[in-house]
Amino acid sequence: MTNDVQWVAEALQKVYGKVGRTNMKIGANFPHASVNGSYQLEEPHWWTAGFWPGLLWLLYRETKDESLKETAKQCEKQLDSVITDYYKLDHDIGFMWTLTSVANYKLTKDEDSKRRALLAANLLAARFNCKGNYIRAWNSRYKGDENTGWAIIDCLMNLPLLFWATKETGDPRFSHVAKKHGETALNHFIRKDGSVHHIVQFNPETGEKEKALGGQGFSSDSAWSRGASWAIYGLALLYRDTGESHYLQAAKGVAHFFIAHLPDDFVPYWDFRLPQGITNYRDSSAGAIAACGLLAISQAVERTEANMYKRTAIKMLRSLYDHYGDWENDGQDGLILHGTSHYPEGKNIDVPLIYGDYFFVEGLTSLKAEYELFW
Ligand code: GLY
């Protein structure tokens, strides 16, 4: 591992140098995808709002650079304007407030951040459908947009906010909801071969499963790689938070599917099961997320087994660093090139994505030291 210490330190140094420069340019805003070298900004209610401040908190923890902390805190304050917006908020509340308020609270013990994160956890728990035992993903965005019965695999990453709220308050309601949703994900989203569905539709009145939908994957029976990466990491965290071994088994099953489908450079294509003739773009963000998931699995299993997961995570992060990273080029805001956000909608294909950057840096910091995760 000695060699790893060296390249990880070097990579973190380059990340810090570049993010220091982009912080001057982006400031307290909410970047998502970098188009023609510039991060495009989103409104604060968009699901990606937590990743830039989360990245700044990761680097603040490394460097104690107050300018990074200041921007992260300003981003968090801006989210106050959307926490009361019933129409715009959805299950991504978990992504948004875990990487802003929970991160801030874990690092600085700021009581305002704790209060915000608890409010966010209440809103997330309130999306639970107790007939179907799922957290509703999104709200209807236009007339006729019927998605009351939709749950999505990404939501596994929102559950740590609920477990955190139970730990902080002693009130088990939050973890009850998280466990019920986790069981639903296990029973209805993970296929026998280890691939996953993105969206499953339930009958919101009876709770019965109706069908699976393709969502951001190519089709309902393809294998969207970022969905698999959310499952690997989310299931590993569910095991951490419940101690229930079936979540660890499931995380390993999805991980084995994912690893078996990696190309030679260890960075996944956006969908592992595409028909002939569809361009197989990479999704570097799925690689970064899955690497963090593999590191979480490696923490949960015994030593010889742990080594396999950890070595694979290192190969993935190293490949991102060596072949996908953009370090010195001030004409490119993103850190990690070649992410694919939403192929079916033709959005943000083959570009840097802020969550790819975030998880790449989280993976590096996890290799450097045994920090408490923000999740
Ligand atoms: N819907 C979250 C994602 O694009 O992964």
**pLDDT tens for each residue of the chain, 375 residues long:** 558 999 999 999 999 999 999 999 999 999 999 999 999 999 999 999 999 999 999 999 999 999 999 999 999 999 999 999 999 999 999 999 999 999 999 999 999 999 999 999 999 999 999 999 999 999 998 888 999 999 999 999 999 999 999 999 999 999 999 999 999 999 999 999 999 999 999 999 999 999 999 999 999 999 999 999 999 999 999 999 999 999 999 999 999 999 999 999 999 999 999 999 999 999 999 999 999 999 999 999 999 999 999 999 999 999 999 999 999 888 999 999 999 999 999 999 999 999 999 999 999 999 999 999 999
| Ligand 1 touching residue 283 (CB < 6 A) | no
What's the rounded Cα separation, in Å, for the pair 293 and 277? 31
Strand pairing partners for 53?
A: none
| pLDDT for residue 18 | 97
* d(CA 48, ligand 1 centre) in Å: 9
Strand pairing partners for 196?
A: 190
Give the chain's domains with CATH numbers: 3-368 (1.50.10.10)
Q: Which atom of ligand 1 is nearest to the CA of 152?
A: 1
Amino acid at 96: M
Amino acid at 265: D
* d(CA 243, ligand 1 centre) in Å: 27
Nearest CA residue ID for atom 5, ligand 1: 226
Active site residues: 92, 154
- Residue of 32, 42, 47 with the most ligand 1 atoms within 8 Å of its CB, for mutation: 47
| Ligand 1 touching residue 136 (CB < 6 A) | no
303-311's contacts with Cβ under 8 Å and 24+ in sequence apart are 309/255
Q: Which residue has the tokens 């099953």?
A: 253
| pLDDT for residue 1 | 53
Backbone φ and ψ of 85, nearest 5°: -90, 90
Nearest CA residue ID for atom 1, ligand 1: 154
Q: CB atoms < 10 A from the CB of 28, how many?
A: 18
Beta-strand runs (E) in the chain: 31-35, 38-41, 128-129, 134-135, 150-152, 199-202, 209-213, 339-342, 347-351
Sign of the alpha-carbon torsion through 226, 48, 243, 61: positive
What's the rounded Cα separation, in Å, for the pair 56 and 347? 26
For residue 363, what are the CA distances in angstroms to 12, 285, 306, 337, 340? 10, 12, 16, 16, 19
Residue ranges of the binding site for substrate: 92, 154, 226, 230
Sign of the alpha-carbon torsion through 110, 288, 259, 254: positive
| pLDDT for residue 3 | 83
| pLDDT for residue 277 | 92
Tokens of 73: 């805190």
| Ligand 1 touching residue 32 (CB < 6 A) | no
Residue 224, SS3 per DSSP = strand
| pLDDT for residue 223 | 98
* d(CA 303, ligand 1 centre) in Å: 32
pTM: 0.98
